Amino acid sequence: MSEVTTVATHCPYCALQCGMNLRPAAGPAPELPVEVVDRPDFPVNRGALCGKGRTAPAVLSSRVRLTEPLVRCPDTGALKPATWEEALAAVADGLRRTRADHGADAVGVFGGGGLTNEKAYTLGKFARLVLGTSQIDYNGRFCMSSAAAAHQRAFGLDRGLPFPLEDIPRTGCVILVGSNLAETMPPALRYLTELKENGGKLIVVDPRRTRTAEQADLHLAPRPGTDLALALGMLHLVVAEGLVDEEFVAERTDGWAAARAGAMAHWPEHVERITGVAVPQVRAAVRMFCEADGGMVLTARGPEQQSKGTDTVGAWINLCLATGRAGRLHSGYGCLTGQGNGQGGREHGQKADQLPGYRKLDDPAARAHVAGVWGVDPESLPGPGRSAYELLDALGGDVKALLLMGSNPVVSAPRAAHVEERIRSLDFLAVADVVLSETAELADVVLPVTQWAEETGTTTNLEGRVLLRRRALTPPPGVRSDLEVLHGLAALLGWEKGFPTDPEEVFDELRRASAGGPADYAGISYRRIEREQGVFWPCPGAGPGEPEHTGTPRLFLDRFATADGRARFVPVVHRAAAEETDDAYPVVLTTGRVVAQYQSGAQTRRVDELNTAAPGAFVELHPRLAERVGVEDGQPVAVVSRRGRAVAPARITTSIRPDTVFMPFHWPGEGRANTLTNPALDPVSRMPEFKVCAVRLERG
Binding residues for ligand SF4, rule: CB under 6 A, are 11, 13-14, 16-18, 45, 49-50, 52-53, 185-187
Tell me how far, at minimum, the Cβ of 190 lies from ligand SF4, in Å.
11
Residue nearest to ligand SF4 (CB): 53
Nearer to ligand SF4, 11 or 436 (CB): 11
Please give the full DSSP string across 49-91, using - where no structure is assigned: --HHHHTTHHHHT-TTB--S-EEE-TTT--EEE--HHHHHHHH
Sheet arrangement for strand 136-138 = 79-81, 70-72, 445-448, 428-433, 401-405, 107-111, 136-138
DSSP annotation of 362 reads T
Sheet arrangement for strand 535-536 = 457-460, 465-469, 535-536
The CA distance from 554 to 161, in Å, is 9
The CA distance from 257 to 237, in Å, is 16
Contact 573, 265 (CB under 8 A): yes
Nearest to 114 by CA among 460, 365, 376, 436: 460
Nearer to ligand SF4, 17 or 275 (CB): 17
Nearer to ligand SF4, 308 or 469 (CB): 469
Tell me how far, at minimum, the Cβ of 84 lies from ligand SF4, in Å.
31
Nearer to ligand SF4, 45 or 152 (CB): 45
Tell me how far, at minimum, the Cβ of 604 lies from ligand SF4, in Å.
9
φ/ψ (deg, to 5) at 420:
-60, -40
Contact 15, 462 (CB under 8 A): yes
* Angle, vertex CA 504, rays to CA 131 and CA 132, nearest 5: 10
Tell me how crowded residue 329 is: count the other CB atoms within 10 A of its CB. Answer: 12
Nearest to 348 by CA among 131, 523, 115, 553: 115
Nearer to ligand SF4, 183 or 393 (CB): 183
Please give the full DSSP string across 379-423, using - where no structure is assigned: GGS------HHHHHHTBTTTB-EEEEES--HHHHSSSHHHHHHHH
Nearer to ligand SF4, 18 or 234 (CB): 18
Tell me how far, at minimum, the Cβ of 636 lies from ligand SF4, in Å.
30
Contact 643, 418 (CB under 8 A): yes
Tell me how far, at minimum, the Cβ of 49 lies from ligand SF4, in Å.
4
Contact 110, 139 (CB under 8 A): yes
Tell me how far, at minimum, the Cβ of 56 lies from ligand SF4, in Å.
7
Nearer to ligand SF4, 13 or 256 (CB): 13
Q: What Rg value do the Cα atoms of the chain yield, rounded?
A: 24
Nearer to ligand SF4, 310 or 456 (CB): 456
Strand-strand pairing, 401-405 and 428-433: parallel
Report the half-sphere exposure of 524 (CA within 13 A, side-chain side). Answer: 34
Tell me how far, at minimum, the Cβ of 351 lies from ligand SF4, in Å.
22
Tell me how far, at minimum, the Cβ of 526 lies from ligand SF4, in Å.
20
Any idea how long the chain is?
700
Report the half-sphere exposure of 662 (CA within 13 A, side-chain side). Answer: 23
Please give the full DSSP string across 122-172, using - where no structure is assigned: HHHHIIIIII--S-EEEGGGGTTHHHHHHHHHHHS---S-SS-GGGGGGSS
Tell me how far, at minimum, the Cβ of 57 lies from ligand SF4, in Å.
12
Nearer to ligand SF4, 186 or 406 (CB): 186
Nearer to ligand SF4, 337 or 514 (CB): 337
**E strands along 455-539, which residues?**
457-460, 465-469, 535-536
Nearer to ligand SF4, 51 or 498 (CB): 51
Nearer to ligand SF4, 336 or 567 (CB): 336
Tell me how far, at minimum, the Cβ of 623 lies from ligand SF4, in Å.
32
Tell me how far, at minimum, the Cβ of 522 lies from ligand SF4, in Å.
27
Tell me how far, at minimum, the Cβ of 185 lies from ligand SF4, in Å.
4
